Amino acid sequence: VLCDIGFIGLGVMGKNLVLNLADNGFNIAAFDLSDEKVQAVIAQDEAENATDTPRVYGCSSYTELLSQLKAPHLIVLSVPAGAPVDQVCENLIGAGIQPDDIIIDTGNSLWTDTVAREKKYKSNFLLFSSAVSGGEVGARFGPSLMPSGSPYAWARVKPIWEAIAAKVDAETGKPIDRTKPGQVITEGEPCAAYIGPAGAGHYVKMVHNGIEYADMQIICEAYHVLKSGLNLTCDEIADIFAQWNDGPLDSYLMEISVEVLRHKSTDTNTPLVELILDKAGQKGTGLWTAMSSLEVGCPAPTIAQAVYARSISSFKELRTQASSLLEGPQLAPLSAAEQQQVIEQLHDAMYCAKICAYAQGFQLMKLAAKEHGWVLDFASIAKIWRAGCIIRAAFLQSITNAYERNENLDNLLLDDFFVKELNKRQLNWRKAICHATMQGVPIGALSSSLAYYDSMRSETLPANLLQGQRDFFGAHTFERIDKTAGKKYHVQWSTKGKETILVDG
């Protein structure tokens, strides 16, 4: 029997996607350069498969893989972004892939690479892309999928993607649980929606990851304030986070942070998190988001700050050296009542900063879409992030609602719901930042979000002086608020009293 889908790359994500596909009734021809990985997925399928018919067929070459598939071939790649994707594509061309065959790249490819690849391989096969979010558990039991590329390919991929994606209860907007091998969810709204032409899906996934960086950093800063500022234990912090996870901060990242904080090392029986080296890794998607925000000219300081926070963390030796030289504040410990206040303020600070991070990410997608000619449906993007993905959170329903109210919303900070939330909590946000600053705890994401918020709500910014400076040294000209818009002026600044000269207009 020929298989429905070919699968290449059986690492953690690949293996779990294969098993998810198999649970949903698709037969898979699976290949990996490591035969051990091929055997591992077959063994796991045998162990989990309730039927007698094998669902995964192991292949030992690209040619064998193609020969085991129904035509036109549909092949899913789960290989690291970058050169490996091209290597596999070239190998499939060598093995005889056909122009109407479809290859789906599920990695975190740079979106511009995806656009280039679609063109490059046009005469060889159809490159479709679908970023996958949700880590290994998501891949196994329902990820969030961001497909993009040819609509013809999407028509073929859609039923498969909708079957394996995470599902959301249409009425409550909450994820529908799927936790066991063999379990299949057919009801609910699938977290898989067509994003747009080649590159759009990877762009949206890149921004998802930029928001993920910000979300994670905001939680880490709150942990730092509670730990270093208030001297709470990991278990106490876990209790606070668990309680917050029941309100507007309810999210997967909060949930796993509670588990990480509670975990004790089996060697020492002390919190493992305190034994983890404080140097953060990164694979690039957060950096790409920050770079794109600068290129597009969209302010995304919380996301950029989250990338910087990872960079600063990596300079462990430098920080250790500086820690013995540079002073911080010496403050008396807080009373129990004051501590309680700080904890409440910190909750609001996290929530407001989180709103700003999402506002930045969504505005970035909007501006990028305009630049690249994509028509992005933001309500639909928020919807497919409600379950399956790493940034899944109750809060995504509020974002969905905001874009359903107004599909042309320029920035989430203008939506009624978020206006109310921010207005209600901004004072506490400021107090939390004052407290952390006076304690000497670095809170770049929380405070850069506040600066973003204050800038966005300022009708007047000091860019008037900046324009004066630019005109002074470089004759870069400026506009005047008391004259016709668009007219450019220049002044001989050093010759006091000299008249403004109209340059243009």
Annotated binding site: 108, 133-135, 208-209, 213, 283, 310, 470, 476
Stretch that binds ligand 6PG, among 31-39, 130-138, 169-177, 332-340 (CB under 6 A): 130-138
**Residues near 180 by Cβ (< 8 Å), separated by ≥ 6?**
none
Stretch that binds ligand 6PG, among 18-26, 276-284, 357-365, 407-415 (CB under 6 A): 276-284
Query: Catalytic site residue 479?
Result: no
| Residue of 78, 106, 133, 345 interacting with ligand 6PG (CB under 6 A) | 133
Token pair of 442 as six digits: 């670095």
Establish whether 70 is a catalytic residue. Answer: no
Q: Which stretch binds ligand 6PG (CB under 6 A): 38-46, 275-283, 356-364, 464-472?
A: 275-283
Write the single-letter amino acid at 46.
E
Residue with smaller CB distance to ligand 6PG, 42 or 207: 207
What are the start-end ranges of the E strands in 34-93?
A: 56-58, 74-77
Candidates 25-33, 131-139, 375-383, 439-447; binding stretch for ligand 6PG (CB under 6 A): 131-139
Angle of the 200-224 helix axis to the 252-262 helix axis, nearest 10: 40
Q: Quick check: 135 binds ligand 6PG (CB under 6 A)?
A: yes
State the number of binding residues for ligand 6PG (CB under 6 A).
Answer: 13
Of residues 6, 58, 134, 190, which one binds ligand 6PG by CB under 6 A?
134
Cα separation of 413 and 393, whole Å? Answer: 18
Q: Which stretch binds ligand 6PG (CB under 6 A): 53-61, 128-136, 217-225, 347-355?
A: 128-136
Mark the binding-site residues for substrate, compressed into ranges: 108, 133-135, 208-209, 213, 283, 310, 470, 476
Interface with ligand 6PG (CB under 6 A), residue from 53, 171, 277, 281: 281
- Which of 395-399's residues contact partners 24+ apart within 8 Å by CB, and which partners? 395/248, 395/249, 395/250, 395/251, 395/354, 395/358, 396/173, 397/173, 399/358, 399/362
Of 23-31, 41-49, 132-140, 345-353: span binding ligand 6PG (CB under 6 A):
132-140
Residue 130 beta carbon to ligand 6PG: minimum distance, rounded to whole angstroms? 12
Does 289 engage in binding with ligand 6PG (CB under 6 A)? no
Instruction: Return the H-helix or E-strand segment holding 443.
Output: none
User: Which distant-in-sequence residues (6+ apart) come within 8 Å of 158 by Cβ?
Assistant: 147, 192, 194
Q: Which residues contact 61 (CB under 8 A, 6 or more apart)?
A: 31, 95
d(CA 239, CA 234) in angstroms, rounded, equals: 9
Annotated catalytic residue, options 118, 212, 221, 421: 212
Q: Do the strands 144-148 and 126-133 form a parallel or antiparallel pair, or are they unpaired?
A: antiparallel
Minimum CB separation from ligand 6PG for residue 116, in Å? 21
Q: How far apart are CA 440 and CA 427, in angstroms?
A: 20
The distance of closest approach from Cβ of residue 133 to ligand 6PG in the complex, given in angstroms and rounded to an integer, is 3
What is the Cα–Cα distance from 103 to 74, expressed in whole angstroms? 6
Residue from 283, 316, 424, 476 touching ligand 6PG (CB under 6 A): that is: 283
Q: Does 54 bind ligand 6PG (CB under 6 A)?
A: no
Query: Which listed residue (44, 91, 124, 282) binds ligand 6PG by CB under 6 A?
Result: 282
CA distance 158 to 112: 23
* Cis peptide bond prior to 84, omega within 30° of 0: no
Alpha-carbon distances, residue 21 vs 43, 98, 215 (angstroms):
16, 23, 30
Q: x/- binding map, residues 376-395, to ligand 6PG, per CB under 6 A?
A: -------------xx-----
Stretch 389-448 residues interacting with ligand 6PG (CB under 6 A): 389-390
Q: Report in angstroms how near the CB of residue 178 gets to ligand 6PG at its nearest.
A: 17
- Three-state DSSP class for residue 127: strand
144 bridge partner residues: 133
> Rounded to whole angstroms, how far apart are CA atoms 21 and 75?
12
Residue 108 or 293 with smaller CB distance to ligand 6PG: 108
Residue nearest to ligand 6PG (CB): 133
Write the binding mask 71 to 110 for ligand 6PG: x where contact by CB under 6 A, - elsewhere.
-------------------------------------x--
The residues, ordered by sequence, that sit 6+ positions from 273 with a Cβ below 8 Å of its Cβ are 234, 260, 261, 263
Q: At what angle do helices 151-164 and 12-23 cross, to 10 degrees?
A: 80
Which residues are identified as catalytic? 205, 212
**Residues lying near ligand 6PG in the complex (CB under 6 A):** 108, 133-135, 209, 212, 281-283, 285-286, 389-390
